[in-house]
A and B are shown apart, each in its own frame.
Chain A
Amino acid sequence: MSEYTYPIFFGVIVGTATRIYMLRTDYRQYPTYLHGKIIHVALGFIAAGLGTVAIPSILEEEFTAITFLTLAASQFRDVRNMERNTLNELDNYELVPRGKTYIEGIAIAFESRNYLVIFTSFLCTLGYLLFNIWGGLIAAVIAIFISTKLMSGGRLGDIVEVEYFEPRFDGPGLYVDNIYIMNIGLAERQKEVLRYGMGFILKPKNFDSRATIANLGQRQAILHDVSNALGVYRDSGTPALVPLAKRDLDDGRVGVFILPQENDIEKAIKIIKKVPTLENAIRMPKEREKKLEER
């Protein structure tokens, strides 16, 4: 055994454990299947190995070994493609699809989490070799803390206020507050919608969030998450029973109409507030103005 054996083991174990921690299944129900998890844990193990061996390579002045990290980058980009393709295929069979923006966000998260594992293992092994196992443990705690911070993005509750409104009909037009949702012609269908439907108004807290919730992908993510958590009163062959989110063009509010199987207003509001703010949907039109003013 060389002097690097224990630090390498330590880095790999902490890195793999970090990946398992970041792979926890939550209310979004992904990934739930065992084989999907095995793929990601195995890739996490490889990432941990790559991050760990970088330190002994530098110490031994084997700088060409570091170039393997670039190979790793291309491998993990493939992870993103794999997730994107899988989720796009699965999305066709969802009663309320995730939408491409949400899928892209998940795929990016899977790729970036492997880089966080490399970073964690790198720091742990460095800490172990520079100090001792306690140094490695302190580095592990710091790296896991940073990884946790970086892996959790913003929530919708940070940028909007959510209020419940009972859906209503004006003729065949379905409304949530004063926001027009859709035209439902059949009286029978209207009764179903009023019986099971729930309406919510998302009021943006500032101008930037107005642009973010206007994004169609962000709106689809809200519908998917709520339908996923509360169930959906819908089946194939009932296209009129569809959750929708429409925008008030005057003030940027968004009216969300859902058809949950569990009619719990408080829970629905909680879920809407916990919907992730999708990276690809975030817009900051006011940010540039602020920077210009500061100059």
Chain B
Amino acid sequence: MSEFEIKTVTGETITPQALKEEMLKIYPAKTKRKREKQILSNDPELPPEIGANTRTIPGIITQRGCTYAGCKGVVLGPIHDIVHITHGPIGCAFYSWLSRRNLAKPVNKGDTNYLQYCMSTDMQEEEIVFGGEKKLAQACREAYALFKPRAIAIYSTCPVGLIGDDVHAVARKMSEELGINVCGFSCEGYKGVSQSAGHHIANNGVFKHMVGKLDMTHDNPFSINVLGEYNIGGDAWEIDTLLRKCGIHVVSTLSGDVNYDQVCSSHTANLNVVMCHRSINYMAQMMETKFGIPWFKVNFIGAAATAKSLRKIGQFFGDKGLIDRIEEVIAAEMAALAPIQKDVTSRTKGKKVALFVGGSRAHHYQDLFSDIGMETISAGYEFAHRDDYEGRAVLPTIKIDADSRNIEEIHVEADPQRYNPRKSPEQIAALEAGGFTFRDYDGMMKQMKKNSLVIDDISHHEMEKLIAICKPDVICSGIKDKFVIEKLGVPCKQLHSYDYGGPYAAFTGAANFYKEIDRLTSTKVWKFVVPPWKQNPELQATMAFGKAAAAEDLTPKRSMKAKNVEPAEEA
């Protein structure tokens, strides 16, 4: 097999180092020094150390958002049967109102889906000056009077931290007064360097205030939680359906289409599988320590990846019936998918893709593209950490900087009553002896080709350079980049919102994605970009029809006859 090479628009080979230099050369010295640590030529055997989860450089056009977005927007926002109150001026609540596609379907018809509501204390100058705690307490009372929710979650925005409102004290007081679970999240936007800090804060809060609150038993021993799956475009529903077909029961999905009881009883599952490692690995760790639930990484994006993940779950439970059922399901699903995959691959094979998104999708979606023969030339996350790139093996070597130190690491111990290791040390040893891995994320880089380009927190300028030099066939990114990329004549697939399409998870979702990429790479629209007079400016204009055809078309039927009578005239 030939070595992987990145090609330029004109078909020449460009080394990742040269591409990187092109991206960096415009930067002022200090900016260049910081950015060069975040752009690397990949080596899957020994991934080089990447600068990740570091501060965004002011003035750089970044994809990143804030801590509030990670906490309320991503992790907690999808819980659909509790009230979410954003404490702050109106903007933060407004922008996180149904702007992520974490779809939800209430359990019973007529149950309130609180995701349709945007609730905020809408802080005014008076509260900024005199404090907003009273208004927040009153907002909780009003929300309770109107909706009688199961629980209320309160989210702090930037000014709340600065003026010193104690949202946790208000939450405690309101819990007592209203008799429901009210919990506060100190997820001020400026904490941390990206959304990632918000994920951690959300994990801590959900673990402290919700997980373990509802004990229950399950008839099905193959009961699992799918962690880090947010039901964008209905993905969680596809995964749920697939798992059910295999005989696996999903206790809770954190936090796509999840209700409060499911979150509170998630500690009763026998296994945690982790989709988005970045946003939820904390929860998996804490649940293992406190309740003895093992975890490992899965990926239900891509047919091959889905099959592999299902088999691993089967192997974990070690039940012959389950393993057989999983194989049957894989065989049936693969058989249904194969013709679509083959058909699409005939057109997409060899095309190039670059993915810059999130904390897991830029990795997961490489599997889907590889299903249809497309090659990833460059990829990177928006807000991931080194372990998401290089694998969890590097965790002990990650230096804790000032920004990470700001985020609470909660100390977790085994629950005196409910700690129950789902596998004995012997069983674990036996599984591991067979190559089975727990707590295992190898990261993006080990899966990417040698000499592909890894770019953390890609800037607008670097994206433009990548397109100018390499012009990939598809770029996966988000809404802020989409139209820049498309102005440059490259189709962009949004992987935050899926461009309002999907689902793309599991086998059925994979079919949707193959077709979508086929559409994007074969649409005529890109061919129309250059007008005909610019394609061949020196040639004479051609008409839609030849001269004779035009004359024929315009000739009334009656004279057609006449023409037939006198064919010689034309000759």
A, B co-complexed: no
A residues neighboring B (CB under 8 Å): none
